[in-house]
Structure 1
Amino acid sequence: MTPVFWLSSMFALFYFSYGIYLPYWSLWLSHAGAEAEFIGMLLGLGMVARCAGNLLVMSRIRAARHLLPAARWLAWLSLLSFAAFYLNQSSLALIVLMIGMNVIYPSLMPLNEALASRLIVQVRLDYGKARLWGSAAFIVANVAVGSLTSHWGEQWVLHMMVVAMGLMWLMSLLPMTPPPVEQQDERQGDSLLQVWRRPNMKRFLLIVALLQGSHAFYYGFSALYWQQQGYATSTIGYLWGLGVLAEIVVLAMNRQWFEAMTARRLLLAGALCSLVRWTIMGSTTHISWLILAQLLHAGSFCLSHLGAMRYISRDLASEAVIGAQALYAALAMGLMVALLLVASGQLYPVLGGYTFGLMAVVVVPACWLLRTSLTEYTRES
C-alpha cells in the first residue's frame, strides 16, 4: 500500500473515532451516571494522562523505523482499553479506565502527525490533502453517531468507539511500501529535553497551548450545553460536522491559499478567529450565530494547527521533528486542555454558556506572544 493511502486511511479511522469521542463522550459518561462536575474531573484527568502518555510513547520513538510498529501496538491497546468500559462503570472504575485509555489512545494522534512529517520529506506528501480525510471521517462520525444516539440511546457512543478502534487496528496491520526510513546521513532524533531547549521552542509551545487549550470547554461541554438549550443530539452532530467541513476546505486549499504564509501568521489568524468564535458562543445560542461560530472552526483550530505543523516541519531541523510533535501533543493538545477542562467542569454549573467567554480571554496572551517572529533563531548552525 502506498504511503499516502496508508496514512490517509489511518487519519480517517483515527478521526472517525475522535469524531465520536470529542462531542459525545461526555454524553456517554452522563449516561453511565456521572454528574457534570465529575465529568469535568474525568475529562481533565484523562487529558493529564494523555499528556503523560504522549511523552512516554513518543520519547521512545527516536527513528523513522519505529513509527509503524508503534502504530500497530497503539491501535491494538486502544481497542482493548475502550472495550474495558463494558466491564464496570462505577465511579472508581471510570477514573481508572479514563486514565488508562488516555495514556494509550491519544498517542495515535502525534504518531500519525510524525508519520506525516516524515512522509512530507520522503515522498513529498501533500499534508492538507492527506489530513482532510481525517476531517471528513470526523464529520461522518458526528452525524452518524448523533443520529444513532437520538434513536437508540447514548450507549451507542461506546459501541461505535469499539468498532472504530477495531477497524483502525486492522488497517494498521497492512504494509506501507516504501516504509518510513531515515534519510542519508540523518542522525538519530533529539531527546525531548534537547527539543525543549531549542530556541523559541518554549514560546511556541505556550502559544499553541493557549490556542488549542481555548477549545477545552467546546470539546468537553458544548454538546451537553446545547442539549440543555433544547437542541437534539442529531442537530449537535450537524453543528460539529459543519465546523469540520469548514476545516476540510482549509486543508484542501492549504497549498493554494496558505503555502506562502509563515507559521506566525497562521497562528495569528487562528488566534483572531478564536477570539471571535468564543465571544459569539458565549453570547448566544441562536442557530444562525452558532452556524457562523462553527464556520470559524476553520480558523480557531485548523489555521492554528497548520501553523504548528508548519513550524515543526519547515522551521525545525529534521532530528527535532518527532520530539516537537510529542511536546505539541502533550502540552498543547493535552496538559493545557486538561487544566481548562477541569476549570470548565467547575465553572459550567455556575456560568453556563458564559464559560465560552473565558476561553476568549485565554487566547489574548497568545496574541501578545506572537508579536515577534518565531523563526528568527530556530535553526541551529
Structure 2
Amino acid sequence: MPAFSWLALFFGAFYFVYGAYLPFWSLWLEGIGVSAEQIGLLLGAGMAIRFAGNLLVMEQIKGAGHLLPVTRWLSVFSLLAFIGFYFSHQLWWLVGLTLLANFIYPTLMPVGEALATRMVVQAHLDYGKVRLCGSLAFIVASTLVGALVSNVGSEWILHAMVIGLVLMVLLSWLPLHPAPQDVAGERAKASLKATLRSPTVRRFLLITALLQSSHAAYYGFSAIHWKAAGYSGTIIGYLWALGVVAEIGMFAADKRFLQRWGARQLFIAGAIGCVARWLLLGTTTELGWLVLGQLLHSVTFGMSHLGAVRFMTRQLPAEQLIPTQSLYAAIGLGMVLAALMAVCGSLYESLEGGIFLLMALVVVPVFFLRFKPTTVAAAAV
C-alpha cells in the first residue's frame, strides 16, 4: 500500500481511539464512581508513564527499518491493555491498567510521527494532508462518542475505543510501500543522551513542553467542567470536534500559506493563541465564547505542532529525527503534561474554571525563549 494511504488509514484509526479517549475518558472514570481528585491522579499517572514508555520503546528503535514492526506489536498490546478495563473497576486495578495502557498505547504517537517524518524524507510525503486524516477521525470519534454518552451511557466510551483498536491492529499489518529504510549515506540514529547534549534541542523541548502541557486542564477537565455547566455529552462532543476541525484547517493550509513561517514564528503564534484561549475558557462557559475558544485549537495545538515538525525536519540532521521525536513526545506530551494534569486534578474542585487561567501563565516563558538556527535537514515539510 502506498505510504500516503497507509499512514492516512493508520492515523485515522489511532486518532479515532484518541478522539474517544482524550475528551471522554474522565467521564468514563466519573461514570464508574471515581472522584475528581482520583481522576486527576489517574490521568496524571498515565501521562507520567508515557515518559518512560516513549523513551524506553523509542530507544530500542535502532533505525528506520524497526519502525513498522514496532508499530504493529504496539497496536496489538494496546488492544489487550484496554480490553483489561472490562474486568474490574477496583481502584488498584484501574491504577495498574492505566499505567500499562499508557506505557504502550501513547508510544504509537511518536512511532507513527517518526514513520511520517521518515516518509517526508524518503518519499516526499505531504505531512499536513496525511496528518489531517487523523484529525478527521478524531472528529468522527468525538462526535459519535459524545452522542453515545448522551443517549446510551458513558460505558460506550470504552466500547468505541476497543472497536477502534481492533481496526488499528488490522490496518497496521497491511504492507507499506516504500518500506521505511535508512537513507544511503545517513549516519546511524543518534542516542537520546547524545541528542540531549544539543542546546538547541534542549531549548526546543522546553518550548514545546510549555506549549503542549498548557493543554492539561483542557484535556483532563473540560468535559467535566462543561458538563457541570449544563452541556450534554453531544454538545461536548461537538465542541471537541470543532477544535479538531480548526486544527484540520491549519494542517491543510500549512503547505500553501505557512511554508515561509519558521519554527520560531509558529511557536510564538501558538503561545499567543494559548494565552487567549485559556483566558476565554477560564472566564466563561457561554456557548459562543466556547466556540471561539475551540477555534483557537488551530493555533494552540495546530501551529505549535507544525512548529515542532518544522524544527525537526528543517533544522535537525536526519540521525536526530527519531530521538528528538521521542523526546518531544515523552517530555512535552508526557512528563510535563502529566505533572500539570495532576495539579489540575488537585485544584479543580476548588478552582473549577480557574485552572484554565493557570494554564495561560504556563506559556508566558515561550515569548522569551529562543534557539539559534542549525543545519538545514535534507527535507522540509
* TM interval, short-chain normalised: over 0.9
- Tell me if structure 2 keeps the 8 A contact 1:67–1:180: yes
Match of 2:373 among 366, 371, 376: 376
- 1:19/1:137 contact within 8 Å kept: yes
Please tell me whether the aligned partners of residues 316 and 374 of structure 2 are also in contact (alpha carbons under 8 angstroms).
no
User: Which letter maps to 2:61?
Assistant: I
In structure 1, C-alpha distance between the alignment counterparts of 2:49 and 2:263, rounded to whole Å:
29
Matched position secondary structure for 1:190:
coil
Question: CA-to-partner distance for each residue in 1:46-67, whole Å, 9 max, x for gaps?
Answer: 0111111000111111201001
The CA deviation string for residues 71-121 of structure 1, in whole angstroms up to 9 with x for no partner, is 100000000000000111101000000000000000000001000110001
In the other structure, the counterpart of 1:337 is: 337
Alpha-carbon shift at residue 199 of structure 1 (Å) = 3.0
Corresponding residue for residue 321 of structure 2: 321
Name 1:303's counterpart in structure 2.
303
Aligned to 1:82: 82
Q: 1:377 deviation in Å?
A: 4.3
* Cα displacement string for residues 268-315 of structure 1 (whole angstroms, at most 9, x for unaligned residues): 100000000000111100000000000000000010000001101110
Q: What is the SS of the residue equivalent to 1:170?
A: helix
Q: How far apart, CA to CA, are the structure 2 residues paired with 1:304 and 1:178?
A: 29
Q: Matches of 1:49 and 1:234 in 2, distance apart? A: 31
Counterpart mapping for 1:37-186 below 5 A: 37-186=37-186
1:89 aligned counterpart, secondary structure:
coil
Q: Give the counterpart letter for 1:309 in structure 2.
A: V
Stretches of structure 1 that go unaligned for 5 or more consecutive residues are none
2:235 and 2:69 map into 1 onto residues whose CA distance is 39
- Equivalents in 2 of 1:163, 1:8: separation in Å? 18
Q: How big is the shift at 1:376?
A: 2.6
Amino acid at match of 1:16: F
Deviation at 1:178, TM superposition (A): 1.6
Which residue identity is paired with 2:195?
A: V
What's the offset of the Cα at 1:378? 5.8
- CA apart distance, 1:375: 3.8
Q: Is the 8 A contact 1:199 1:377 kept in 2?
A: no
1:229 and 2:229 aligned: yes
Give, in angstroms, the shift of residue 198 of structure 1.
1.5
User: How large is the RMSD of aligned CA atoms in angstroms?
Assistant: 1.0
Which 4+ residue blocks in structure 1 deviate beyond 3 angstroms? 377-380
Using structure 1 for the length normalisation, give the TM-score. Answer: 0.98
TM-score by length of 2: 0.98
Instruction: Report deviation, 1:257.
Output: 1.1
Corresponding residue of 1:353:
353
Please tell me whether the aligned partners of residues 114 and 322 of structure 1 are also in contact (alpha carbons under 8 angstroms): yes
Percent of aligned pairs sharing the same letter: 50
Aligned AA (1:200): T
For the 8 Å contact 1:62–1:322, the answer to whether it is kept is no
Can you give the 5+ residue segments of structure 2 that lack an aligned partner in the other structure?
none
Matched-pair contact (CA < 8 Å) for 2:8–2:134 = yes
